[in-house]
Amino acid sequence: MSKYIPTIGVEVHVELKTNTKIFSNSINGYGEMANSLTNVIDLGYPGTLPTLNKEVLNLAIKAATVLNCKIRREMHFDRKNYFYPDNPKNYQITQSRTPIGYDGYVEVEVNGVKKKIEIEEMHIEEDTCKSTHRGTKTLLDFNRAGVPLIEIVTKPCMNSGEEAKAYLEKLRELLFYTDVSDCKIEEGSMRADANVSIRKNESDPFGTKAEIKNIGSITNVAISINKEIERQTKIYDSGETFKPQTRRYDDKLGDTVLMRVKETGNDYRYFPEPDIPFVYVTDEMIENVVKTIPMLPDERRKVYVEKGVSEVNANKLVQNRALSDYFNELLNENTNLKIASNLLLGDISGYLNKNEKTITETTLTKERFLELINRMEDNTLTSKNLKDILDKILEETVSIEEIIKTSGIENITDDSAIRDVVKSVIAENPGSVEDYKAGHDRAIKYLMGQVMKASKGSANPKIAMDILVEELQ
Amino acid sequence: MDDRLSKEEVLHVAELARIAISESELEKYQIQLKQIMDSVDKIKEVEVDDDQMLIANWSAPTKLREDVEGKMLSPKEVINNAPRHSGNYIEVPVVIGEEA
Amino acid sequence: MKYLNKSVLEIHELLKEKKIKPIDLVEEAFENIENNKELNAYITLNKEEAIKQAKELEDKEVDNILFGMPIAIKDNIITKDLLTTCASHMLENFIPLYDATVVEKIKSKNMIIIGKTNMDEFAMGSTSRTSYFGAPLNPWNKTKISGGSSGGSAVTISARDLPFALGSDTGGSIRQPASYCGIVGMKPTYGRVSRFGLVAFASSMDQIGPMTKNVYENALLLNAIVGKDERDLTSAEKETEDFTRLIGKDVKDMKIAVPNYFMSDIVNEEVKSAIKNTIEVLKNAGAIVDYVDMKYLDQAVTLYQVIALGEASSNLARFDGIRYGFSKENPESIKDVYFKTRQEGFGTEVKRRIMVGAHILSGENAKIYYDKAMAVRAAMRQEFKRIYKDYDLIIGPTATTTAYNQTDSLDDPLKSFLDDVLVNPANMSGLPGLNVPVGFDNDHMPIGMHIIGNDFEEAKIYQLASFIEKELNLDLTPGGEK
């Protein structure tokens, strides 16, 4: 156990999933030809003015709602003034005095312990352009300039890399499920910076801060924070101190490296943006946004488990939003959700991965899926047989019953036919029969396997087992 | 009261404004900026009844724009006006870290 | 044959009756400008395009009163494919990719853009002497300044080159040169005219407005350029109205306030006496004119310095030599691009104002100066509102003096602010204000009266101004009627 208490605060930038940019009607897109998604506003041309995208406000309200933030009803924007080639106007339009959301939290669980991660504030701002360094030149692509962002700032309330990681995972899940953002860290649509300091006692003032910038993955967040805690511990243990600084995580080194020591605070000369009048958030706007919020991941997990789905499956379903959304359609049906979850996460997922499809791109309507679940439940279709007809089920539109019939794999439910198979298996395996009688339970599984094999998988397993037990007596 | 700003003060605002100033200009600015700041300083003495702030003379709350795409520039139009470009990119001397 | 010295109504009739063609007006305008070349009113002429457009109009129906009328545009208003320099080395070769909303509007009326007028660099100044292209000269006396920043527009109207011009007004830049040059200039209510395409100086005060030889024609041009613009969030949602509708009505029982500060000893005696004479004319016509005390008016310059320069330092940050405009050749680093481009690209006045603005917003100063200024600004607006409870309009002189010598106060960093002391408050409070000529000083330089209206009451201002114009019946053509 370290003798220091680490303190961590996290700032996350998330690109909002809108059609157009925050202050102009050019397309909010990724991966297009350089400088093909811009207009005079994005480029900061003289005489241009910002207009505010309605959807940005809606998505920010949505994010604030799911992050349990209070929502400001009257706000304005501010200018943050700094020169940088990726900042077309050399000021960024942001919200410094009146962030749209404040005093929020998300709940995370680390090693079985629940913790509320407190959110200080959440504000709307514009993204900068993308720069690429080539030798002695830096190349600028303004497609990203003006993409809408929200920045979410926690209080310095976390104590480990694992907590920060859990927070980011939870944040990503929430914002992804609410369509606020696609949260792709690798494409930069979600970017995290962490502030790390350590101190001896809770009552001490916070220690010197190091900021770790632009961490490339959520896993690396935990690693880099823990590495930074280690580094600071060593420094203090050896009686040294360090200056506030900015560091970055180097994936190859597996450690953080110094970017620069922070000089006196930046002089951003904030002042209220005179080009955008006050923005008022009404009850009606909030109500309309709240209506669009789907069942959230935590709720989904809870409901799934309540309806008989295993915890493992519940988690796996929630990790795949398309499957989870599809699964949600079944929640009010009278069906076996455990089987449904097994099917979706098992054979069906296998098919989807292999064919690079999503569940909605298959022909498995809710009605046909319910029919399939019933067939599985009453054992009129075995998993073995399912494998043979799965492609048809997912690609054709006829009923499951029809597919089973025409595939000639109709389940053998005829007792006498199965009994014949069982009898011959018993006759051919005297050793196993002995074992069974001697009390080795495993032997019956072997025999059952032989029965299914001899029937080419077409025997109804439940009936076959009953007959096997009966014949062994 | 001094009749000029310090060299450091002038150099600081010149740095903020990204304007190079020569040694000879420096002294002129020390005096002239101070003259304007002396005038500006009078704002401190004005008494107002409440601290309501008027950011601008707006007549109505912000009318929000529908999220519908509009006309964009071609990369060629973007680079045509740029002093330096390379392919479809606008170019500047390499920018390292946050030094700019 | 000369047509452009006639009234717009007369020209319109001639066009309608096909007695003249738009090309006649365009050619005459260019001829006038050529004859008045030394006035240096223009930075760029749009000759080829204007002639082409005039010829195209020959087949079209004369469908509105501004059809075929030549117009000059201040060079900080963006015109697609037509050089827009803001009178700065920084934009000396800048060819815009779009039209300002006002330019779209005047084009839709089939007005013909003759050229881009000279001005103070980035509209920063009160004399137009900060222009990179040299100062325009006052047609009443070429040794005098035109005033500014819309000096070129004021000069070309005053010289009767053409009937219409657009200016912009952040702290008096339409009204003050209008006063110095003896023309009518209106700064509309903030939000009345879209700012989209006006190169920003101080966003919370900038307005585009019409500059003309008389009141009626001023109202006609305002009719054409107003309206809510989806591209400018600060433009006001207002029904269109006819700003000429009250012109010709008398001023009996109109209640007019004259703030004592506007007639205090900061104002030159000759100017004051011209205003007093006009006040007598109004009283004789049955208007009620009272002298009133108003708080905060004496703070206008200070207020303007804080807010306008703070905003300007941010608005002009975009001129960095990266995406458009001038850029220092062969930079060795990104620092070079910024520092040297801005050192060479901007003139002295602009650099001084940007630096003061940066200082005002720097660190703790933002609270001390900027926040305080916004509070004083709110109080000043309240003070105007208090007066408008009892009065229709507020009047006073537009400028403390008449136009002064080109060589006066060249290096005084405060003079340009003080020149606008009487016109600043309207910008601070967003109110409409207009200059109407009311006389001449002993050197026969024009004196102007400033009329400030309540929000969106431009029509009432025109009513009073046109009454004064008619009653005084001054000869406002420099050198006499030609």
Per-residue model confidence as pLDDT tens digits over C38-68: 999 999 999 999 999 999 999 999 999 999 9
Parallel, antiparallel, or unpaired: how do β-strands C207-212 and C184-187 relate? antiparallel
Q: Hey, which chains touch A, using 3+ CB pairs under 8 Å? A: B, C
Q: Which residues of B touch A55 (CB under 8 A)?
A: 67
Residue bearing tokens 């607006």: C381
Crossing angle between the packed helical segments A297-306 and A161-177, to the nearest 10 degrees: 90
pTM score: 0.92
Q: Is C416 a catalytic residue?
A: no
Nearest to A208 by CA among A222, A220, A198: A198
Query: Is the CB of C374 less than 8 angstroms away from the CB of A272?
Result: yes
d(CA A157, CA B31): 49
Q: Which residues of A touch C96 (CB under 8 A)?
A: 45-47
Query: Is the CB of C355 less than 8 angstroms away from the CB of B95?
Result: no
- Phi and psi angles of residue A59, each rounded to the nearest 5 degrees, phi first: -70, -35
Q: Choosing from C74, C109, C144, C272, which is the catalytic residue?
A: C74
Query: Is the CB of B94 less than 8 angstroms away from the CB of A43?
Result: no
Q: What is the pLDDT of residue A1?
A: 45
d(CA C247, CA A174): 62
Domains and CATH numbers, chain C: 1-482 (3.90.1300.10)
Q: Is C144 a catalytic residue?
A: no
Lowest mean pLDDT, pick from A118-127, A364-373, C134-143, C149-158: A364-373
Q: Residues 8 to 47 of B: which have CB under 8 A from any A CB?
A: 16, 18
Q: What is the pLDDT of residue A265?
A: 67
Name the amino acid, one letter, at B78.
V
Virtual CA dihedral for A446, A447, A448, A451, nearest 10 degrees?
A: 130
With a cut of 90, say whether residue C240 has pLDDT above it.
Answer: no
The three-class DSSP label of residue A85 is: coil
Query: Is the CB of B83 less than 8 angstroms away from the CB of C233?
Result: no
d(CA C111, CA C72): 10
Query: Is the CB of A271 less than 8 angstroms away from the CB of C363?
Result: no
Q: Which residues of B touch A267 (CB under 8 A)?
A: 16
Query: Is the CB of A46 less than 8 angstroms away from the CB of C78?
Result: yes
Strands, E assignment, C347-445 = 393-397, 433-440
Q: Which of A16, A27, A35 to mutate to test the interface with B (most CBs of B within 10 A)?
A: A35
ipTM of the complex: 0.97
Structure tokens at C39: 């006035």
Q: What is the pLDDT of residue A264?
A: 64
Q: Which residue of A has its CA nearest to B13?
A: A267
Q: What is the pLDDT of residue B58?
A: 65
For range C359-363, the mean pLDDT: 95
Q: Choosing from C131, C149, C153, C313, which is the catalytic residue?
A: C149
H helical segments located in A114-238: 161-177, 218-237
Lowest mean pLDDT, pick from C135-139, C167-171, C298-302: C298-302
Q: Which residues of C touch A129 (CB under 8 A)?
A: none
Q: Choosing from C126, C146, C173, C313, which is the catalytic residue?
A: C173
CA end-to-end span of chain B, whole Å? 35
C71 — alpha (psi -120 to 50), left (phi > 0) or beta? beta
Tens digit of each residue's pLDDT, chain A (473 residues) = 468 999 999 999 999 999 999 999 999 999 999 999 999 999 999 999 999 999 999 999 999 999 999 999 999 999 999 999 999 999 999 999 999 999 999 999 999 999 999 999 999 999 999 999 999 999 999 999 999 999 999 999 999 999 999 999 999 999 999 999 999 988 889 999 999 999 999 899 999 999 998 788 888 999 999 999 999 999 999 999 999 999 999 888 888 899 888 766 679 999 999 999 999 999 999 999 999 999 999 999 999 999 999 999 999 999 999 999 999 999 999 999 999 999 999 999 999 999 999 999 999 999 999 999 998 888 778 787 888 889 999 999 988 888 888 876 666 666 777 888 888 888 888 888 888 888 887 888 888 888 888 877 777 777 888 888 888 87
d(CA A275, CA B62): 10
Q: What is the pLDDT of residue C482?
A: 46
Virtual CA dihedral for C383, C386, C387, C391, nearest 10 degrees?
A: 160
Query: Is the CB of A35 less than 8 angstroms away from the CB of B56?
Result: no
Q: What is the pLDDT of residue C254?
A: 98
d(CA A66, CA A127): 23
Q: Which residues of A touch B88 (CB under 8 A)?
A: 33-36, 141
Residue bearing tokens 């209506």: A291
DSSP of A338-394: HHHHHHIIIIIHHHHHHHT--GGGSS--HHHHHHHHHHHHTTSS-HHHHHHHHHHHH
Q: Which residues of A touch C203 (CB under 8 A)?
A: 274-275
Q: How far is C104 from chain A (nearest CA, A)?
A: 14
Q: Which residues of B touch C239 (CB under 8 A)?
A: none
In this prediction, residue B59 has a pLDDT band, given cuts at 50, 70 and 90, of low
Residue A252 makes CB contacts below 8 A (sequence gap 6+) with: none
With a cut of 70, say whether residue C314 has pLDDT above it.
Answer: yes
Lowest mean pLDDT, pick from A38-47, A420-429, C26-35, C218-227: A420-429
CB-nearest to C97 from B9, B14, B77 is B77
Indicate the domain borders of chain A.
5-284, 295-406, 415-472
Name the amino acid, one letter, at C238.
K
With a cut of 70, say whether residue C1 has pLDDT above it.
Answer: no
Nearest to C435 by CA among C248, C108, C169: C169
For range C320-345, the mean pLDDT: 96
Q: How far is A56 from chain B (nearest CA, A)?
A: 8
Q: Is C149 a catalytic residue?
A: yes
With a cut of 50, say whether residue C119 has pLDDT above it.
Answer: yes
Strand partners, C137: C145
Helix (H), strand (E), coil (C) string for B59-98: CCCCCCECCCCCCCCCHHHHHHCCCCEECCEEEEECCCCC
Query: Is the CB of C237 less than 8 angstroms away from the CB of B63?
Result: yes
CA C405 centroid distance within chain:
21
Task: Assess contact for C270 and C402: CB atoms under 8 A.
Answer: yes
Q: Which CATH code is given to the segment(s) A415-472? A: 1.10.10.410
Structure tokens at B1: 């009261």
d(CA B27, CA B5): 9
Q: What is the pLDDT of residue A2?
A: 61
Task: Assess contact for C303 and C376: CB atoms under 8 A.
Answer: yes
Task: Assess contact for C259 and C292: CB atoms under 8 A.
Answer: yes
Q: Which residue of A has its CA nearest to B63?
A: A52
